[in-house]
Amino acid sequence: MNRKKEYKTYIERDNRETDLMDSSLNQMADNSAEKEKRQQLYIKKKRRNKIIKKSVLGIFLVISILAGWAVATVESRMNAVLNTMDRDRSTDLSTVDLDDDLLTYDKDIINILLVGSDKRADWSESGRSDSTMIATLDLKHKRLKLTSLMRDMYVPIPMNGENRFNAAYSLGGVKLLYETIATNFGIKLDGYVIVDFKAFQEVIDTIGGVEINLTDKEYKYLTTAYHRGTVLEVKPGLNNLNGEQALAYSRIRQREVDAQGDFGRTRRQRDILQSIFSKAKGMPFSELMKLTETIMPYLATDLTNKEILSYIKSVVTLGATEIDQMRIPIDNSFTQKRINKMAVLIPDMEMNTAALNDFIFNYDGENLEEFIADID
């Protein structure tokens, strides 16, 4: 009886062990199948990702090629346009004999001499300099700046004694003008651009005019001083001036029209340049190219195409919408006299040199009036 019971117990235990073994084998089989299934899914996913990566890489490569081609095309077109500018390497400002150690300079602050002239036939000699400005591309403070240098300042002109500031250009061209600025104000300039007044008119006509408010006195002067042309069509108040009208407006310096006289004239010129800049910033590329093609033949410069393109890119990257403006001499820093029958301004050179250098190299966009007032 006991033997039967023991045998039965043995059989039952053996069956349980068999069932457990079968269960384990089945589970192993299931796990193996699941594992194989996961491996297959992983392989498929890996292949799909590889295909996607190759597709993305291919698209990126195509875009890169197209972008490179577009940039190359634009630069090629720009170079062709820039090549229409007058260039005389003998007038390079880098050839002017100056002691650079005595001049203020910063590689992140680009200063370009702008000269508005009535004469274009021979950029390096003669011609009347109607306006002189320093355009500053300040990458350090992310600002665009424009400084007018009053033409009636009575200053030393190297090798020519004392005279009106704008006499430097008529006596020795852009090189003597730069030398006069450097020796009087201690600033190193990176290049120059001479603008024929025809370019001034063409730019304004191309962008569709500039909006300017005319006072009653300005209106009366323009419509009586000019006897023909579109200048006679202006009216008091807000006008959208075309190139001819804007040029006439920018030249007003009569004190019976504006008590500021020549100071008012330089302000008008800077205001028009600000209007041109603001309007050009919003123009599509095709129109900007048209504008560039229109004005380049009226310009002369010592800047290379590479430098110009670099400066253009910097201005675009800067994102500035306003131009900080200044005038030399600053208020309360000069006296008015008549010398050799000329009405001239005798500037306090120490005060104005400090003002010009601080504005160009240190001004960061805060209150300009307070900034100038702090200069002593």
pLDDT tens sequence across 240-255? 999 999 989 988 888 7
Q: What is the pLDDT of residue 123?
A: 39
What is the span of the domain harbouring residue 302? Answer: 89-207+283-373
Q: What is the pLDDT of residue 242?
A: 93
Q: Looking at the structure, do residues 58 and 156 belong to the same domain, yes or no?
A: no
Exposure string over 72-96, b if 16+ CB within 10 A, otherwise e: eeeeeebeebbeebbbeeebbbeeb
Q: Which range scores top for mean pLDDT: 41-45, 81-85, 305-309, 370-374? A: 305-309
Q: How much of the chain exceeds pLDDT 90, in percent?
A: 42
Q: What is the pLDDT of residue 199?
A: 81
Q: What is the pLDDT of residue 303?
A: 93
**Residue 309 identity (one-letter amino acid):** L
Q: Looking at the structure, do residues 65 and 112 belong to the same domain, yes or no?
A: no
Q: What is the pLDDT of residue 5?
A: 52
Q: Report the distance separating Cα 168 and Cα 165, nearest Å.
A: 6
Q: Which of 44-53, 99-108, 300-309, 357-366 has the lowest mean pLDDT?
A: 44-53
Q: Looking at the structure, do residues 47 and 145 belong to the same domain, yes or no?
A: no
Say if 8 falls within a structural domain: yes
- Give yes or no for a contact between 279 and 291, defined as CB atoms under 8 angstroms apart: no
pLDDT at 188 over 90: yes
Query: What is the number of domains present in the chain?
Result: 2
Say if 232 falls within a structural domain: no
Query: CB neighbours (10 Å) of residue 162?
Result: 13
User: Which residue shows structure tokens 């890119």?
Assistant: 313
Q: Report the distance separating Cα 52 and Cα 63, nearest Å.
A: 16
Q: Looking at the structure, do residues 185 and 104 belong to the same domain, yes or no?
A: yes
Say if 262 falls within a structural domain: no
pLDDT at 28 over 80: no
pLDDT at 322 over 70: yes
Say if 278 falls within a structural domain: no
Query: CB neighbours (10 Å) of residue 187?
Result: 21
Say if 40 falls within a structural domain: yes
Q: Looking at the structure, do residues 298 and 161 belong to the same domain, yes or no?
A: yes
Exposure string over 12-25, b if 16+ CB within 10 A, otherwise e: eeeeeeeeeeeeee
The residues with which 197 forms a beta bridge, in sequence order, are none
Q: What is the pLDDT of residue 185?
A: 97
Query: CB neighbours (10 Å) of residue 273?
Result: 21
What is the average pLDDT value for the chain, to the nearest integer? 81
Tens of pLDDT along 107-166? Answer: 999 999 999 876 543 434 445 567 899 999 999 999 999 999 999 999 999 999 999 999
Q: Which of 47, 82, 117 is the last residue of a domain?
A: 82
CATH number at residue 192: 3.40.630.190
Average pLDDT over residues 102-111: 96
Q: Looking at the structure, do residues 77 and 97 belong to the same domain, yes or no?
A: no
Reading the block at residue 53, the tokens are: 């990566």
Question: Structure pTM?
Answer: 0.74
Q: Looking at the structure, do residues 293 and 189 belong to the same domain, yes or no?
A: yes
Say if 62 falls within a structural domain: yes
**Where is pLDDT greater, at 11 or 232?**
232
Average pLDDT over residues 51-76: 51
Q: Which of 82, 101, 120 is the last residue of a domain?
A: 82
Q: Which residues contact 119 (CB under 8 A, 6 or more apart)?
A: 126, 127, 128, 196
Q: What are phi and psi of 97, to 5 degrees?
A: -80, 100
Nearest CA among 355, 6, 374, 7 for reference residue 150: 355
Q: Report the distance separating Cα 115 and Cα 203, nearest Å.
A: 16
Q: What is the pLDDT of residue 263?
A: 83
pLDDT bin (cut points 50, 70, 90) of residue 286 is confident
Q: Looking at the structure, do residues 179 and 317 belong to the same domain, yes or no?
A: yes
286-289, long-range: CB within 8 Å, 24+ apart, which pairs? 289/77, 289/78, 289/81
pLDDT at 287 over 90: no
Q: Which of 60, 82, 104 is the last residue of a domain?
A: 82
329 preceded by a cis bond (ω within 30 of 0): yes
